[in-house]
Structure 1
């Protein structure tokens, strides 16, 4: 089954483009939401995303159990976003390597079209604090593992996409 990763910086347009790609497929669609409304700003952001989706979407909240939610989903699935999920895993004290491996396995076993959204956080300055550096490194490893597991990967900048290719050292 076709799988895609949309990766880019904050406000790059990756969620909007992934949603448009999903809506080009026959619905109904499942949206696996990883965000948690811990404060008013995040609750507002979640509400805006939900309103943007409109009819035809089924939303499943899965802040930590993402691999299980992918396995249980029916029809085309959009996961938004992997870095919020990683934040929940890390701050919840869960085993990042185990959860990431389960996620990659679920992507490989997906029975329906699957599109995933993730932030690229490694292009900026080195975070000042240890937790920020740990998160940046874990997000980079997660994005690499997911990119290796999907059929297509798109880098999104300013609402534009650049297809990413697997490196072939023999080429």
Structure 2
């Protein structure tokens, strides 16, 4: 018998190679087992070069078997709206998704266009009956980038993380493989 999951939403933040994906995968597996729910992995990355293909392969190997895999390099909100109460969904990663939109918009990229995509995503996450675990890079801890497109990305990534943190029940920052709970509903 399948039980409905609670609708907890989680945001897992961290720098590159901080352990955020591993933490999020463990959380998804745990929730899936607790609620006898399907475990879904939604990938946002596109293997545009050999190094990215190797990163994707590393994550696939690290995850292991038992995941229903989906791709959503751009239309993430639409993909997430398809999941139900018996699903645990891990999205890795939001900053790659945001960068995909930045590239898609090209020279027409703007704060307004990116904020619209983030608002649509936040609304779907908030209303979804599924348990959703979002992974995102915390990119705003370094120096302010010199280039306009880089600043547009960093600024919007920061705003995106804030928007999604507002609709998530749990927010965890991963540094050096260690979790720091920033927001908690009382259970992960």
Is TM (by shorter chain) over 0.5? yes
TM-score by length of 2: 0.85
Residue aligning to 1:65? 75
Give the conservation status (yes or no) of the 8 Å contact 2:12–2:20.
yes
| Equivalent position to 2:161, from 124, 143, 160 | 143
1:56 positional shift: 1.3
4+ aligned runs moved over 6 Å, structure 1: none
| Match 2:89 to one of 77, 88, 97 | 77
| CA offset digits 1:36-83 (Å, max 9, x no partner) | 100000011111111222221011010000001111124100000000
Unpaired runs of 5+ residues, structure 2, are 1-6
The answer to whether residue 35 in structure 2 is matched with residue 23 in structure 1 is no
Q: CA deviation at 1:4?
A: 0.4
Report the secondary structure of 1:123's partner residue. coil
Cα deviation, residue 165, structure 1: 3.5
- Conserved? CA contact 2:88–2:131, under 8 Å: yes
TM-score by length of structure 1 reads: 0.93
CA RMSD of aligned residues (A): 1.3
Q: For residue 164 of structure 1, report the CA deviation from its aligned partner.
A: 0.6
Deviation string 1:9-52 (CA, Å, 9 cap, x unpaired) is: 11110000000011112243110100010000001111111122
DSSP-derived class of the 1:72 partner: coil
Contact 1:30 1:73 (8 Å CA) reproduced: no
CA distance in 1, matches of 2:25, 2:50: 24
Which of 136-145 and 42-51 deviates more? 42-51
1:2-13 equivalences under 5 Å are 2-13=8-19
Residue 164 of structure 2 corresponds to residue 164 of structure 1 = no
